[in-house]
Chain A
Amino acid sequence: NAGVTQTPKFRILKIGQSMTLQCAQDMNHNYMYWYRQDPGMGLKLIYYSVGAGITDKGEVPNGYNVSRSTTEDFPLRLELAAPSQTSVYFCASSYSDNNQPQHFGDGTRLSIL
């Protein structure tokens, strides 16, 4: 009963490095999301996808890229890591309906030094 799985759980990057945060869900959800949460702040939407091959920007997309080649996977790419991207990243998914709750992975804690 995996739900939404994120890897890695923790990562430290140097400024300018790149990395991909992985997210997979096994609930056959069409909708998937990436959020970041800074200390004491609410979750902010980075990117979202309503299905394979379709992605859209959220509130804070700069510095990130996504792809959605399958229903199950929604990786988030940081190309040139910056200290401002130090945060906790959550992936979520939901059914294709505007009244559905989202279900979250347990997060990736990323530090850029």
Chain B
Amino acid sequence: RKEVEQDPGPFNVPEGATVAFNCTYSNSASQSFFWYRQDCRKEPKLLMSVYSSGNEDGRFTAQLNRASQYISLLIRDSKLSDSATYLCVVNMDKGGGNKLTFGTGTQLKVEL
């Protein structure tokens, strides 16, 4: 089982649609969780941190379910500019160094 697992997609959705991605992680002791966005051939950029109570940033909502070891990202009113790969990222390491484990990403294509 992969440490951080995501559906690779692609998810092809029309502009204005709502789309949700899930991610599962293997280590129940994981401490912190993030969603990053990566455009083609570019660096990963932080989209949002994921908090235990869930959190929202504009059209983006992130949820964490520790009991089932998964996190989700909901994108409302999709824009063409949301087309990218979304990386689920988990800190599984109790030791020092703030080491993160990256999923392979879910590709989103928003179409006219």
Contact = CB atoms under 8 A, between A and B. Distances in A.
Interface of A: 31, 33, 40-43, 45, 48, 50, 56, 58, 88, 90, 94-107, 109
B44 interface: yes
A69 B87 CA distance: 32
Ordered nearest first, which 3 A-B pairs have the shortest CB separation?
A: A104-B43, A99-B32, A42-B104
B97 A42 contact: no
Given A98-B91, A106-B43, A50 B105 contact: no
B48 to A, nearest CB: 9
Contacts, number: 57
A41 B87 CA distance: 11
Contacts of B21: none
A90 B98 contact: no
Interface in B47-88: 49, 87
Given A101-B34, A101-B49, A42 B105 contact: yes
5 contacts: A31-B98, A42-B4, A42-B104, A42-B105, A98-B31
